[in-house]
Amino acid sequence: MNHKDNDRYLPIGIFDSGVGGLTVLKEIHALMPNEGIMYLGDTARVPYGTRSEETIKRYSAECASFLFKKGIKLLVIACNTASAISLDYIKELIPVPVIGVIEPGALTAVRLTNNKRVGVIGTEATIRSLAYKKAIHSFDESVSVFSKACPLFVPLVEEGWTSGDVAEKVVSIYLSDLLKSNIDCLVLGCTHYPLLKGVIQDVVGKDVRLVDSAIETAKAVKHVLEDTNLVNRVNSINTIRYFVTDSKERFVSVGERFLNEEINDIEVVSLNKYGRKDEN
Ligand code: DGL
């Protein structure tokens, strides 16, 4: 892939099905504060986690094309569901480096597990795709992977119920089977789950190590920017622009809770014409 010298000043593009990918944005911004970021949340069509592969691919292509046309140097698919289903497809579509959240989390789990028994939690579509299992086995075939879809975690987090009795009860019910599998490492395979880290750690106990895909993905982005000579070393363009496909209000109120920071530069956009083969 050839880059022009000025490409390093372009922003990093990040897309997600909605507000959850802000957990990934937060880690990328913390690790690389010089980098500009364009974040697209497809809030009109969230959730992706309950949809078919075909639909997830189409939505992902539209998001990726939108950001590519805005001008980005690298694309991050922050949504675990979209990464699980569409990473290879988007890599073919967009001529900049594309990073998903599955591989970085899978690699960290393989490095952390001592007893070679790893748990993975995510949306229905992510777990059904077996993407984490395949990625973990591509690094170490001898690791046993135990997976569980936890569909109630996303609405729980968006409602702000990330601690207390209800959160503990819901997390305990979903994770009870995994705990019987004697795992020593658990991958948080969904954008929203880092906000439940405290409750999840209490439920699984301190001997089970949690893998936060958002943190691991930020490290992977840094490596790719360094390897491709795309690091922005000028501390002047650290702007973050947000695009959403539905009204701003809910994104801003939930998003500010995710980020612990104000969301200012935000625009509502339509993705209708992006990602179509017949578009010129
Ligand atoms: N962003 C999704 C994920 O990480 C969770 C929300 C959704 O289902 O769209 O899988």
Count of structural domains within the chain: 2
Residue 26 above 80 pLDDT?
A: yes
- Is the pTM above the cut of 0.85? yes
Statement to judge: residues 63 and 113 lie in one domain: no
Statement to judge: residues 168 and 258 lie in one domain: no
Residue 275: CB within 6 Å of ligand 1? no
Q: How far apart are CA 193 and CA 129, in angstroms?
A: 18
Q: What's 247's DSSP letter? A: -
The preferred substitution site among 154, 158, 193, 254 for testing ligand 1, maximizing ligand atoms within 8 Å of CB, is 154
Q: What's 11's DSSP letter? A: P
Return the ligand 1 atom nearest residue 47 CA: 9
Q: Which domain holds residue 209?
A: 102-213
Protein residue with least CA distance to atom 1, ligand 1: 79
Q: Which amino acid is residue 256, in one-letter code? A: E
Return the ligand 1 atom nearest residue 126 CA: 10
Residue 190: CB within 6 Å of ligand 1? yes
Where a domain ends, among 213, 239, 268? 213
Statement to judge: residues 251 and 207 lie in one domain: no
Return the ligand 1 atom nearest residue 48 CA: 9
The pLDDT tens digits for 98-156 are 999 999 999 999 999 999 999 999 999 999 999 999 999 999 999 999 999 999 999 99
Per DSSP, the three-state class of 262 is coil
Looking at the DSSP bridge assignments, the partners of residue 240 are 37
The pLDDT tens digits for 148-198 are 999 999 999 999 999 999 999 999 999 999 999 999 999 999 999 999 999
Supply the pLDDT for residue 237: 56
Statement to judge: residues 113 and 197 lie in one domain: yes
